[in-house]
A and B are shown apart, each in its own frame.
Chain A
Amino acid sequence: MAKPKPRVKVPKKATKGEIVEIKTLISHKMESGQRKDRKTGELIPRKIINKFQAKFNGADVFNVNIEPALSANPFLTFSVKVPESGEFEFIWTDDDGSTYSTKKKIAVEG
């Protein structure tokens, strides 16, 4: 499988204290561990993103513990109140221990 590719939408600008909406998506199969291989009849082992974290200037602002019931290509929308300019960091953790991350800057005026 291709390397999961994170995609994040953060507004470039905001006013101080504004609540901004952040949309995130990562391409991932989210194999639930419930499906069977059609040829062998064996269960396909579970392989999902089990954790998503959003950090702002290093501080944890939002995180989600994910179970297999989340759809393939997990899509999450949430909001953050931005007090100052800074950088968001988004981290996805896979069942096999690898992490995928991306960063986005936001400029806060006023």
Chain B
Amino acid sequence: MARTLAMFTDTSLCIGCRACQVACKQWNELGMEVPQWTGTYQNQPHFTDQTYRLVRFVEEARPTGELAWLLMSDVCKHCVQAGCLEACPTGAIYRTQYGTVDLNQEACNGCRYCVSSCPFGVVAFDKGPGTAKKCTFCNDRIQNGLGPACAKACPTDSIQFGFREDLVAKAQKRVEALKGMGVRDAQLYGADPRGFLGGLNAFFLLLSKPSTYNLPDSPKLPQRNVVADSLLSIGSGVLVGLGALLAFRGRGQGGGDA
């Protein structure tokens, strides 16, 4: 197993240029989309089958009365505990030797279970080929010693690419520096391997709480209840079976069988 690769998106450096969004579309040969009016410069309200990197423009009212304009290049989180991967019944979604989560277009049969299993709503269904689509962490690039297209294109190094431990260390230093400068709400999202989902291999530095960016504060693996739910189903089966047994063994016009 090779060392884990990661992307660290430092939103404090983002200028909202969307070079990452364009580079992603170009490298992955994604289709043109008619932008959906969101009331901001954001092109789409959320990830689509043709948008794997999406720059979010969030206006947050601060107590001082000012509006903070928060810019965030959002992407698939490549979760250490990935709901989409656990859901996929064909093995099309799998983890690469680098820890990233790839989606093999040849294996996908379009059941869409992954679409409903992402706590962030990342995976989208492409009606054209009938398969699911998401950021692959530029798998073809990383398998050839290159970094993701978005990281390459970012002019401010807001998106950094490297080995996970190195990036986490950098991120922690950066948060401390920001806090020292008075940015009290600076926080990491997904950097902690003991945190939610085992940590995210595409993690972030945010300038406000996650819900400001429409990110879940404490995302959970959707499949965490499989055992409990299955046991409850078995319990129901026992009850129903007993009922049927009672009905068929009970008082009839005499018993015995042939």
Do A and B interact? no
Binding site for B on A (CB under 8 A): none
Binding site for A on B (CB under 8 A): none
